[in-house]
């Protein structure tokens, strides 16, 4: 099986009945020197600078779109129309209209969006606790995604701070992760109110976003994302409060989850600091022995393994392009709410 990676495309094995070795077929990008270096380090068979020719090749089965956001749609649509399996970085697109076209083009091929935080064991375990009724009816959902690199004057400018390439700033880059996690844990968002703000003079994308949300289940929520949270390297966090309990998570301590069971006796109630590395925790049978922590890279490994497992069983995988589009609709409503100074429904 051949795999292409667009700046690059990541190639992964298809799940067939007979085992075979996956091939890193083509890595594609705009910088030939960088491509040659990457191919040499990771063992790619070929390099290419024209993604259009790559996605049309018969020996390519999977196209992984890991390029600036403005290129997600053209590459993913072309790959899907060529019958390829398509993986795509988040956010799915730069607009809901563009995302809708991606979904339509990919209806007949398997897809995945790299919302890898769903595969953090503590987050997947929170989902299990919710499904078991351990949180009860939700009242509040709070999420923050805080980074500090926007305040670094020595950092050279890149495509993530260029609207023509990124489409947005922290809205798509960071808040997309927070929204996907919220949809995964707490269900659909019905309406939002928001404020986007830019700190850097002359920059044409948002550096920070604050949003209020009303969920379909009757709970209310807050979201904050910024690149100017000095002191926070990658604080991707959430907490959910319900009628029967509370769960709180911070990715900077990714192997742990705080959980409070409101059904405990009042004199015993308190947040438990759970080490979510087994036994009987998500993915604990796939990595190390109970008590041995895992890292960021394992979330991608687990996502890919889940995708291949679903593919082999003929089952749906999530998050797919339709899930990515649900996030896109919330992001677009947040941008509209900020621009109009009003509450906006999520279409």
Name the band, by pLDDT with cuts 50, 70 and 90, for residue 19: very low
Of how many residues is the chain composed? 347
Tokens of 236: 């991707």
Within 43-137, residue ranges assigned H as helices are 51-55, 72-81, 96-105, 121-131
Q: What is the pLDDT of residues 218-241, one digit of tens each?
A: 999 999 999 999 999 999 999 999
pLDDT of residue 129: 98
How many Å is the maximal CA-CA distance in the chain?
67
Task: Go through the domains of the chain in sequence order and give each one's CATH number.
Answer: 2-109 (3.40.50.720), 122-337 (3.30.360.10)
pLDDT of residue 14: 40
Name the band, by pLDDT with cuts 50, 70 and 90, for residue 193: very high
C-alpha distance from residue 184 to each of 123, 199, 327, 340 (Å): 9, 31, 10, 28
Q: What is the pLDDT of residues 128-170, one digit of tens each?
A: 999 999 999 999 999 999 999 999 999 998 999 999 999 999 9
Name the band, by pLDDT with cuts 50, 70 and 90, for residue 23: confident
Give the pLDDT mean for 177-190. Answer: 98
Nearest in space to 319 (alpha carbons), one of 12, 99, 149? 99
**Percent of the chain whose pLDDT exceeds 90:** 93
Phi, psi of 225 (to 5 degrees): -140, 140
Q: What is the pLDDT of residues 53-87, one digit of tens each?
A: 999 999 999 999 999 999 999 999 999 999 999 99
How many beta carbons lie within 10 A of that of residue 163, not counting itself?
16
Q: What is the pLDDT of residues 90-111, one digit of tens each?
A: 999 999 999 999 999 999 999 9
pLDDT of residue 6: 55
Radius of gyration of the CA atoms of the chain, in A: 21
pLDDT of residue 21: 54
pLDDT of residue 4: 61
Tokens of 110: 């398997």
Q: What mean pLDDT value characterizes the chain?
A: 94
Inform me whether the pLDDT recorded for 296 exceeds 80.
yes
CB 227 within 8 A of CB 169: yes
């Amino acid at each position: 099986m051949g795999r292409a990676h667009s700046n690059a495309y990541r190639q992964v094995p298809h799940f067939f009945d007979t085992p075979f070795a996956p091939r890193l077929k083509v890595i594609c990008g705009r910088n030939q020197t960088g491509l040659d270096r990457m191919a040499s380090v990771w063992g790619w068979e070929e390099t290419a600078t024209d993604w259009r020719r790559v996605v049309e090749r018969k020996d390519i089965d999977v196209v992984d779109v890991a390029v600036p956001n403005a290129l997600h749609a053209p590459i993913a649509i072309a790959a899907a129309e060529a019958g390829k399996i398509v993986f795509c970085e988040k956010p799915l697109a730069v607009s809901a209209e563009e995302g809708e076209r991606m979904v339509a083009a990919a209806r007949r091929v398997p897809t995945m969006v790299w919302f890898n935080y769903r595969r953090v064991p503590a987050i997947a375990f929170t989902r299990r606790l919710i499904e078991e009724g351990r949180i009860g009816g939700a009242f509040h959902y709070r999420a923050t995604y805080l980074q500090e690199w926007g305040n670094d004057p020595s950092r050279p400018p890149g495509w993530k701070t260029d609207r023509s390439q990124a489409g947005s700033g922290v809205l798509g880059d960071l808040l997309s992760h927070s929204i996907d996690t919220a949809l995964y844990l707490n269900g659909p968002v019905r309406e939002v109110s928001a404020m986007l703000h830019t700190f850097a003079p002359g920059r044409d994308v948002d550096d920070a976003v604050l949003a209020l949300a009303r969920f379909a289940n009757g709970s209310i929520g807050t979201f904050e994302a910024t690149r100017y949270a000095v002191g926070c390297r990658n604080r991707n966090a959430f907490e959910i409060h319900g009628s029967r309990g509370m769960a709180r998570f911070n990715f900077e301590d990714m192997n742990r989850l705080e959980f409070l069971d409101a059904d405990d006796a009042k004199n015993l109630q308190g947040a438990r600091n759970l080490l979510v590395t087994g036994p009987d925790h998500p993915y604990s049978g796939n990595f190390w022995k109970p008590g041995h922590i895992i890292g960021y890279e394992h979330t991608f490994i687990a996502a890919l393994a889940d995708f291949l497992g679903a593919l082999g069983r003929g089952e749906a995988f999530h998050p797919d392009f339709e899930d990515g589009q649900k996030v896109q609709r919330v992001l677009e409503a947040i941008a509209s709410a900020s621009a109009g100074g009003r509450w906006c429904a999520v279409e």
